[in-house]
Amino acid sequence: MKLWGGRFTKETDQAVFAFNASLPFDRRLYRQDIEGSIAHADMLGRQGIITETEAGQIIEGLKGILADLENGSLDFDEGCEDIHSFVETVLTERIGEAGKKLHTGRSRNDQVALDMRLYTRERLDQINGLLKDLLAAILAQMEEHVETYMPGFTHLQKAQPVTLAHHLGAYFEMFSRDRSRLTDCRRRMNYCPLGAGALAGTTYPLDRNYTAGALGFAGPTRNSMDSVSDRDYLIEFISDLSLIMMHLSRFSEEFILWNSNEYGFVELDDTYSTGSSIMPQKKNPDIAELVRGKTGRVYAALTDLLTTMKGLPLAYNKDMQEDKELSFDAMDTAADCIRLFTGMLSTTTFRKDVMERSAAKGFTNATDAADYLVGRGVPFRDAHGIVGQLVLLCLERGISLDELPLEDYQKISPVFDQSVYEAISLKTCVEKRTTLGAPGPAVMRQVIAQYKEELKP
Ligand code: ARG
């Protein structure tokens, strides 16, 4: 049934109907639409705008529709323009006259604004929960690898030794910030647009505080024109998702590198990797590659929304119906990616021996050799030059600093003695980094204890 046939004398063109319709994608708002309508009808009854009996009939009718949609006995009717028309049509078919009163003091403009907010709020909470699971998975691996040495990189060149716990901890920080962004976004969006009407409020004595409270909002929104045309909360949420995806994509990139033959740092579990149809030896990091690849879809939704909104005069414009398809896809994509990545991370075996061997090669202790000289009174700039010469010597001979004989050290600087080997050992290099935020196991254990505290329910 159409909600607006009265002033028309001709039927809508078929192609126009299909182009205009949103039911194919806004059907996923059915539960939020019904919950919003229940709160609205309840309030209309309490305020005496409709009778309590009518309100009761409407609420029972809506509950029946919800149950039937969920148990599959009611199908979406493609003849309806959108989810709002569909629910109202079925309601009126089922309960008669009272159903026609549901839309009193309401417009589809504040209705859809409400539905989208309710839906976005739920997905935000879901994704926040998934991030918490991801953080728990990172933390579990960190606890196992406080003393797993590995090279830290800059410019993708071996730089200084770190530990795997330290490296993973960087991602713990990123995803923690993402969670706090979600919390901020939720707080800002948690106001109820219902009662804004088409754009200018209504003349009925609506109790907007009541509906806002019934639907779990902190209160009603304060400007009706803004209420029906605001999609900032959605843009903010998708931008939070974009950051999450950017972080996941970087993490995926590390896994892809670490899984390569050249690195060999990780052994992906068979359940989280795939093979090649032609090359029998292959074990591919497809999950990580897909997460990296799908990041673009989420950015696309952000760009799409920003672009859709940038030219819209107040208040509602039909362009805003375009807020749904790509943002739904972005929410689904981000949720899947977080879930799958968490599974991959928890089942991965890190190859401690390979990582440690890699850290021991590539002069990751060169800074520590310079610091050794500094500890014996050599100015840092001179120490840097001396160790540079030692590195050159090692490169010519194809050995590491640990393997260079003491007499060679002493030829370049007499300040060196036997104790240099201890000072530049991998263990010392990592253990001596004890300032907050550094990889030293003692300080890392303190940080891990804080992370654990933060993840407590
Ligand atoms: N399907 C519409 C949307 O998603 C619902 C609001 C329709 N309002 C209107 N005035 N045509 O935005």
- Model pTM score: 0.95
The pair of three-digit structure tokens given for residue 416, joined into one six-digit string: 């060196």
Whole-number Å distance between alpha carbons of 375 and 368: 10
CB atoms within 10 A of CB 141: 18
Residues 260-263: contacts with CB within 8 Å, 24+ apart? 263/354, 263/358
Question: Which numbered atom of ligand 1 lies nearest the CA of 116?
Answer: 4
The pair of three-digit structure tokens given for residue 364, joined into one six-digit string: 């990751």
The pair of three-digit structure tokens given for residue 62, joined into one six-digit string: 């809506």
Is 109 a pocket residue for ligand 1 (Cβ < 6 Å)?
Answer: yes
Which of 321, 323, 328 most suits a substitution to test ligand 1, by most atoms within 8 Å of the C-beta? 321
- What does each C-alpha distance from 143 to 148, 353, 430 come to in angstroms? 10, 17, 16
- Which secondary-structure segment (H or E) carries 360? helix 352-360
CA proximity to 24, closest of 70, 73, 83: 83
Pick the CATH number of 358-455 from 3.50.50.60, 3.40.50.150, 3.40.640.10, 1.10.40.30: 1.10.40.30
Q: What angle do CA 263, 177, 285 make, to 5 degrees?
A: 25
Is 316 a pocket residue for ligand 1 (Cβ < 6 Å)?
Answer: yes
Whole-number Å distance between alpha carbons of 46 and 38: 12
CA proximity to 43, closest of 190, 209, 158, 173: 209
Q: What is the DSSP letter of 29?
A: G
- Round the average pLDDT of the chain to a whole number and report it: 96
Indicate the angle between helix axes 232-259 and 108-144, nearest 10 degrees: 30
Is 57 a pocket residue for ligand 1 (Cβ < 6 Å)?
Answer: no
Pick the CATH number of 109-149+163-201+222-357 from 1.20.200.10, 2.30.29.30, 1.10.4100.10, 3.40.30.10: 1.20.200.10
User: 3-state DSSP call for residue 299?
Assistant: helix
Residue 230 Cα to ligand 1 midpoint, Å, equals 13
- pLDDT tens, residue order, the chain (457 aa): 677 778 888 889 999 999 999 999 999 999 999 999 999 999 999 999 999 999 999 999 999 999 999 999 999 999 999 999 999 999 999 999 999 999 999 999 999 999 999 999 999 999 999 999 999 999 999 999 999 999 999 999 999 999 999 999 999 999 999 999 999 999 999 999 999 999 999 999 999 999 999 999 999 999 999 999 999 999 999 999 999 999 999 999 999 999 999 999 999 999 998 888 878 888 899 999 999 999 999 999 999 999 999 999 999 999 999 999 999 999 999 999 999 999 999 999 999 999 999 999 889 999 999 999 999 999 999 999 999 999 999 999 999 999 999 999 999 999 999 999 999 999 999 999 999 999 999 999 999 999 999 999 8
CA proximity to 160, closest of 327, 437, 10, 359: 359
206 — alpha (psi -120 to 50), left (phi > 0) or beta?
Answer: beta
* Domain extent listing, the chain: 14-104, 109-149+163-201+222-357, 358-455
Residue written as tokens 């030219």? 311
| Predicted local confidence at residue 455, as pLDDT | 96
Is 367 a pocket residue for ligand 1 (Cβ < 6 Å)?
Answer: no
pLDDT tens per residue across span 130-170: 999 999 999 999 999 999 999 999 999 999 999 999 999 99
Q: Check for a shared fold between 14-104 and 358-455.
A: no
Residue 112 Cα to ligand 1 midpoint, Å, equals 7
Residue nearest to atom 2 of ligand 1 (CA): 321
Q: Which of 107, 155, 166, 327 does the annotation list as catalytic?
A: 155
CATH number, span 14-104: 1.10.275.10
CB 252 within 8 A of CB 289: yes
Active site residue 40: no
Whole-number Å distance between alpha carbons of 19 and 408: 80
The pair of three-digit structure tokens given for residue 203, joined into one six-digit string: 């003349």
Whole-number Å distance between alpha carbons of 104 and 99: 10
Residue 335 Cα to ligand 1 midpoint, Å, equals 27
Q: Which of 180, 260, 276, 419 does the annotation list as catalytic?
A: 276
Which of 3, 20, 33, 108 most suits a substitution to test ligand 1, by most atoms within 8 Å of the C-beta? 108
Active site residue 276: yes
